[in-house]
Amino acid sequence: MSNTGNRPVAVIIGMMGAGKTRVGREVSQMLGLPFRDADIEIEHEVGMSIPEYFNRYGEPAFRQVETDLIQRTLNDFDGLFALGGGAPMTPATQDALADYIADGGRVIYLQADPKEAMERANRGGGRPMLAGDDADARWMRLYQQRDPVFNRIANVHVRTHGSTPQMAARKVMNMIEERVVHVDVVAADDYNVRIGEGTLNHLAGILGDRPVRVALIHTQPVQRHSDRARALLRQAGYQVCDIVIPDAEAGKTITVANGIWERLGSEGFTRSDAVVGVGGGAATDVAGFVAATWMRGIRYVNCPTSLLAMVDASTGGKTGINTKVGKNLVGSFYTPAGVLADLNTLASLPNDIFIEGLGEVAKSGFISDPEILHILEDHADELRAFDGSTFIGSPLEDVVAELIERTVQVKARHVAADLKEAGLREFLNYGHTLGHAIEKIEHFRWRHGNAVAVGMVYAAELAYLLGYIDSDLVEYHRSVLSSLGLPTSWNGGSFDDVLALMHRDKKARGNTLRFVVLDGIGHPVHLDNPPADAVEEAFRRIQH
């Protein structure tokens, strides 16, 4: 978690009666952090209660004291900090909070149910802004002024409707502990990938208040996660259109996409409505493709539920479907509004589907971040023995969170500079030229991460034969991948079939065969038209 210098771990804002102090104290106890409440600090500083200060000096004088105290605390306190209800309405405080967010901070808007918050605010008393007749009407007027501002200022939104303070505190804690990778795309909107337990709670915050209808596109196996997403969307007031698509590659067809378009048309989806994709890589690919093509592009959020989707398909803005001639040949570059990699979803993942995701994780290590390979080596036994039922709360959870974060950072670096795959981004295709051919020949019975693992060994053999790397690095590929339970050989098809498919791969340029190979760990290079005998010899070496 990035927290530069002496900055608060999080700042909590919200309406009077939202429970900022109560929830803030609970969270600080859970995390073992100091807690400060701006109102209490002000009373200490001025030596009297806030209502008294208000009466004696008026609101402008109070806001000046408040602003000064908030600015000092934001620059010299490393715990949890709760602000008074009206504090974020002051322009100087808004600027200070914007600087804090730019420095990696989290401003959490505690969104309480207005009725609950109103009752609490009146019960508590001592609130000068509610003094006089009809406190409820005053509260509602303030809410209507403040809610849009708080929504805009905060970069984390926590809905506490019907939650006990402990439940609300747990939500806040999960959001503080999550890892955030910012994907800054040239010539497209930037967005965040949030990794942690309970990140689905950000769904409404990312969608915002423009959409009326939300298409929830998901597969049957992830029903419990789509149920959770649907409940969150309904709670936030959206009309949810539930669309179930076939699992895996069977869902990535023009027939499935056409069925979704027809459904959106009959449900009256407009340009300001939105799509949420919940599932593995295939489901998020289809959801993104539908969002990119409906009305020439509507807002969408990816909620990947497999390791592979978290590290690969959901980030980077590539959307697509398959055709009879090949994989992902029809698609669009279209970035999501956000990606929510909720680690709770991995608890329902079978071991073999978790392991295939490690193929793409290892790829990012080979092309860019050697630390990923060290983590994989150090934890190979636990990763290979992954068991979803014991995953949450185990030491492995933090290891996996770091692997996802690092892999997404690698992807973000390549995508930011090159959304449309003209140069740098192509390095993400390490192992994919043969990998895609294997998937096609096996009629997609081979999972993507497994095919890429074999494809990387093939690329390493090719690089060795052409003098780019030594035999030790080829063996290192085999040992890392096999220690994780990934395949390193394949003999399910003839070289001629493979060659024909590699020529048709998206990475090919005209009739030129094009590979990504390494000339060292972390140093990928393009290899155009390698000698035919080396291409065949490398293939022979991965057949046993």
Residue 52 assigned to a binding site: no
Answer yes or no: is pLDDT of 3 > 70: no
Residue 390 assigned to a binding site: no
Residue 293 assigned to a binding site: no
H or E, element range at 192? strand 191-196
Answer yes or no: is pLDDT of 215 > 80: yes
Residue 363 assigned to a binding site: no
Average pLDDT (65-80) is 95
Residue 382 assigned to a binding site: no
pLDDT of residue 413: 86
Q: Which of 275-289, 388-402, 450-464, 509-523 has the lowest mean pLDDT?
A: 509-523
pLDDT of residue 311: 93
Residue 17 assigned to a binding site: yes
Answer yes or no: is pLDDT of 466 > 60: yes
pLDDT of residue 126: 56
pTM of the model: 0.82
Residue 63 assigned to a binding site: yes
Residue 251 assigned to a binding site: yes
% of the chain exceeding 70 in pLDDT: 93
pLDDT of residue 470: 96
Average of per-residue pLDDT values in the chain: 89
Residue 483 assigned to a binding site: no
Residue 514 assigned to a binding site: no
Task: Check residue 83 and report its DSSP letter.
Answer: -
Residue 283 assigned to a binding site: yes
Residue 443 assigned to a binding site: no
Structural tokens at position 499: 């060659």
Residue 67 assigned to a binding site: no
Average pLDDT (241-249) is 89
| 70-85 residues labelled b (16+ CB within 10 A) or e (exposed) | bbebbeebebbbbbbb
Q: What band does 313 get if pLDDT is binned at 50, 70 and 90?
A: low
Q: Which domains does the chain have, with CATH numbers?
A: 8-176 (3.40.50.300), 178-411 (3.40.50.1970), 430-542 (1.20.1090.10)
Residue 442 assigned to a binding site: no
Residue 44 assigned to a binding site: no
Per-state percent for the chain, helix, strand, coil, to nearest 5: 55, 15, 30
Handedness of CA 477, 419, 341, 168 (dihedral sign): positive
**Ramachandran angles phi, psi of 328, nearest 5°:** 55, 30
Residue 536 assigned to a binding site: no
Query: For 32, how many CA atoms within 13 A lie in the half-sphere containing its CB?
Result: 0
